[in-house]
Structure 1
Amino acid sequence: MKVYIETYGCTFNKADAQIIAGVLLENEIDIVDNIDESDVIIVNTCYVKLPTENKVTYKIQQLQQKYPDKKIIVSGCMVEIDPEKLEKIGPDCSWIGPHQLNKSADVVNATYCGDVVRECGFSKESKVGVPKLDDGSLIHIIQICEGCLGACTFCCTRFARGPLNSYPIADIVGEAKEAIENGACEIQLTAQDTAAFGRDSGEKLSDLIKEVANLEGDFRVRVGMMHPKNILNDVDEIIEAMKLPKVYDFIHLPIQSGSDKVLSEMRRGHTIEQYLDIVSKFKKEIPDITLAVDVIVGYPTETDDDFDMTVDLLKKIKPSLIHLSKYQHRKGAISSSLPEIPPEVMKKRSKFLSEIKSKITEEENKLLVGTTQNVLVVEEGSKGGFIGKTDSYIPVIVDNVELGSFVTVKITDATATYLKSELL
């Protein structure tokens, strides 16, 4: 039997797909890259935004029409967030919930034989040290915890991922060590909120970072998204851990809005002053830190003044990476009961902030033109050449290098999203 897996969404979901594939391979079920060769298709869904929901919904319907003789299984967040819609568009599809990945082989075998099987519900099963597909990538993803402590009004992902479940540091370090020994040169520590790690188990993110970063070998560690409210009580120790030479000088710290009023209505659990204090401490202790932020444009209660505060905040903190999202109602989210702002207002604000975003990120990147950077080459470019990451995790285009190598380059040009370089 041959299975094709198509995955949408975040780094965490990609790791889920690797686990599904690993479980299948362990049970002597083949994974194929060509959908036409497959007997069973797994669509690993993301549901965080409406455009992604529309994309995966269309894909499931399209696959049923195009491949009527193939069996289709849906996995990922849609299974837990919107089973009603999934039942409507795919009544003959089997399901694998995000917490039931260890049952992937059973679901595939039963579905192949003509049964409709639906494994859903929450579980405390660890996702560390389990079988994973070795796809030859130099980047190894480790899920350090699942779920969150938040109650954000706009979020539906928490309904799929459930309450916080942190995995033991010893297990995470063991998987990282094995991955490095097998050739990985970048370890990505990922979660819905890495800053929440250990709040349920008594362990600490700062200790985890230190233990992974102190492993032997030539590699880098990237720490994933941190919720500002959960970093507040451990800022100093996390900064000390991230100063270690093998940790990228990079922090993903979503802000969502520059207005305290809107943050409160979003139930984010922190203030702008607290956020600025965190950013200030990181920039003081790690001057070359790359700051990545998330911003939601047009939350239902966002006024023109609230929006202006967001613009002013971005101009003040000057992030190197800005992820913009237009607000849209999500299944089960509290804010979905509120009236959305007028479409023309949303369009105007989104366009303006997109222009501000490009200007800020390009200006920040252009400050690096002429500098010498240490770069880890992690993947091949889609248009030729190679893509590396500076010590501050900024993408760099490099030519005539080997994958997995550390090289020194001179930055020759910059755009809003990446740097260009010449090898020294």
Structure 2
Amino acid sequence: MKVFIESYGCTFNQADGQIIAGNLQENDIDIVDSIEEADVVIVNTCYVKLPTEDKMTYRIQKLQKEHPDKKIIVGGCMVEIDPEKLDKIGPNISWIGPHQLNKSADVVNSTYCGDIVRETGFSKESKVNVPKVMDDSLIHIIQICEGCLGACTFCCTRFARGPLNSYPIADIVAEAQRAIDNGACEIQLTAQDTAAFGRDSGEKLSDLIKEVANLKGDFKVRVGMMHPKNILNDVGEIIDAMKHPKVYDFIHLPVQSGSDKVLSEMRRGHNISQYKDIVSKFKNEIPGIALAVDIIVGYPTESDDDFDETVKLLEEIKPSLIHLSKYQHRKGAISSSLEEIPRDVMKKRSKFLSQIKSQITEDENKELIDSIQNVLVVEKGSKGGFIAKTNSYIPVIVDDAQLGTFVDVKITEATSTYLKSELL
């Protein structure tokens, strides 16, 4: 029996796909590189936005139509968030929820034999130190916790990932050390909210970062998304941990809106003054740190004045990376009961923010032209050359280099999304 796995969405879900593959491989089930070779196809879904939902629905239906001879299993967030829709489009399809990955081989074997198996529900099963099949030996993803402490009105992912479940620091460090020993040069610590790590177990994110960064070897650590409200009481220690030379000078701190009114209605648990204070502390203590932010455009209660506050915030804090999303109702989300703002208004606001986003990020990157950067070469470029990362995690095109090495380059050009360089 042969299985093909395709994973969509965030880093966390990509790691889930690696765990599924590891469980299958441990049980002597072959993983193949194409659908044509496979007997069973696993679609590890993302469901965070409406366009993604539509993409997942289309993908499953297309597989059913074009590959009627293949057995199909659906995994990922769709299984827990929208089982009604999934059952409607695929009544004869097996499921495996994101908390049941240790049962992957059992589900595959049963499905291959003609049964319909649906493993769902929450679990405290650890996702650290379990067998994985990595897509890239140079970049190793470690899920440090699953679930969150939030109640954001616009979010449906929390219904799939459940309450916070942190994994022990000792286990995470052990997996990181093995990855480094096996050639990994980048360790990605990921979660729905890394700042929530340890709130249920008594451990601390700052301690985790320090322990991983202090391991022997030539590598860098990237710390994943942090919810502002959960960083408020530990800002100083997290900054101290991130000053370690092996940790990227990069922080992903979603704000979603520049309006205190909208933040309150979103139930974000922080205000703009607190957010700006966090950003200011990071920038003062770690000069050159790259700030990534998430913005939701057109939340149902967002007025013109609220939108203007978002524009002002971006122009003030000047993020290095801005993720924009147009608001759309999500299955089960509290805000889905509200009336959406007119689409033409949302489109106009989104277009305006997109222009600001490009200008801010390009201006930030242009400041690096002619600078000398020590970069880590992490992957081959899709159009030739190599992609490296600066210390602040900005992508750099390098013409010729060895994967997994640190090289000195001079920045020659800048766009809103990447840099170009020449080797020194």
Global fold match (TM > 0.5): yes
Match of 1:365 in 2: 365
Match of 1:187 in 2: 187
Match of 1:345 in 2: 345
Give the residue type in structure 2 aligned to 1:271. N
Give the residue type in structure 2 aligned to 1:243. K
Match of 1:330 in 2: 330
Q: Is the 8 A contact 2:154 2:333 kept in 1?
A: yes
Following the alignment from structure 1 to structure 2, what is the Cα–Cα distance between the partners of residues 339 and 82?
A: 21
How big is the shift at 1:135?
Answer: 3.4
Following the alignment from structure 2 to structure 1, what is the Cα–Cα distance between the partners of residues 356 and 296?
A: 14
Match of 1:129 in 2: 129
Give the residue type in structure 1 aligned to 2:64. Q
Q: Is the 8 A contact 2:134 2:140 kept in 1?
A: no
Following the alignment from structure 2 to structure 1, what is the Cα–Cα distance between the partners of residues 27 and 217?
A: 32
Give the residue type in structure 2 aligned to 1:370. D
Q: Is the 8 A contact 2:15 2:142 kept in 1?
A: yes
Give the residue type in structure 2 aligned to 1:35. I
Following the alignment from structure 2 to structure 1, what is the Cα–Cα distance between the partners of residues 276 and 23?
A: 44
Give the residue type in structure 2 aligned to 1:103. K
Match of 1:379 in 2: 379
Q: Deviations over 1:85-112 (max 9, x none)?
A: 0000011110000000000000000000
State TM-score, norm by structure 1.
1.00
Following the alignment from structure 1 to structure 2, what is the Cα–Cα distance between the partners of residues 278 and 299?
A: 24
Following the alignment from structure 1 to structure 2, what is the Cα–Cα distance between the partners of residues 76 and 148?
A: 17
Q: Which runs of 5+ in 2 are unaligned?
A: none
Match of 1:138 in 2: 138
Following the alignment from structure 1 to structure 2, what is the Cα–Cα distance between the partners of residues 214 and 5?
A: 34
How big is the shift at 1:34?
Answer: 1.0
Give the residue type in structure 2 aligned to 1:201. S
How do 1:195-210 and structure 2 match up within 5 A?
Answer: 195-210=195-210
SS of equivalent residue, structure 1 residue 51: helix
Q: Which runs of 5+ in 1 are unaligned?
A: none
SS of equivalent residue, structure 1 residue 74: strand
Match of 2:422 in 1: 422
Match of 1:47 in 2: 47
How big is the shift at 1:399?
Answer: 1.2
SS of equivalent residue, structure 2 residue 199: coil
Match of 1:25 in 2: 25
Give the residue type in structure 1 aligned to 2:416. A
Q: Percent identity?
A: 83
Q: After the TM superposition, which parts of structure 1 deviate over 3 Å for at least 4 consecutive aligned residues?
A: none
Q: Deviations over 1:225-262 (max 9, x none)?
A: 00000000000000000000000000000000000000
Q: Is 1:109 equivalent to 2:114 in the alignment?
A: no
How big is the shift at 1:134?
Answer: 3.2
Q: Deviations over 1:107-144 (max 9, x none)?
A: 00000000000000000000000000033430000000
Following the alignment from structure 1 to structure 2, what is the Cα–Cα distance between the partners of residues 65 and 134?
A: 30
Following the alignment from structure 1 to structure 2, what is the Cα–Cα distance between the partners of residues 154 and 176?
A: 34
Give the residue type in structure 1 aligned to 2:56. V
Give the residue type in structure 1 aligned to 2:313. L
Residues 389 and 268 of structure 1: is their aligned pair in 2 closer, same or farther, counting only changes over 3 Å?
A: same
SS of equivalent residue, structure 2 residue 351: helix
| Count of residue pairs brought into register by the alignment | 424
Give the residue type in structure 1 aligned to 2:83. P
SS of equivalent residue, structure 1 residue 36: coil
Following the alignment from structure 1 to structure 2, what is the Cα–Cα distance between the partners of residues 310 and 374?
A: 34
Give the residue type in structure 2 aligned to 1:214. N
How do 1:272-421 and structure 2 match up within 5 A?
Answer: 272-421=272-421
Q: Deviations over 1:126-169 (max 9, x none)?
A: 00000000334300000000000000000000000000000000
Match of 1:73 in 2: 73
Give the residue type in structure 2 aligned to 1:194. T
**Aligned CA-pair RMSD:** 0.5
Following the alignment from structure 2 to structure 1, what is the Cα–Cα distance between the partners of residues 400 and 53?
A: 40
Following the alignment from structure 1 to structure 2, what is the Cα–Cα distance between the partners of residues 198 and 30?
A: 36
SS of equivalent residue, structure 1 residue 44: strand
Give the residue type in structure 2 aligned to 1:119. E
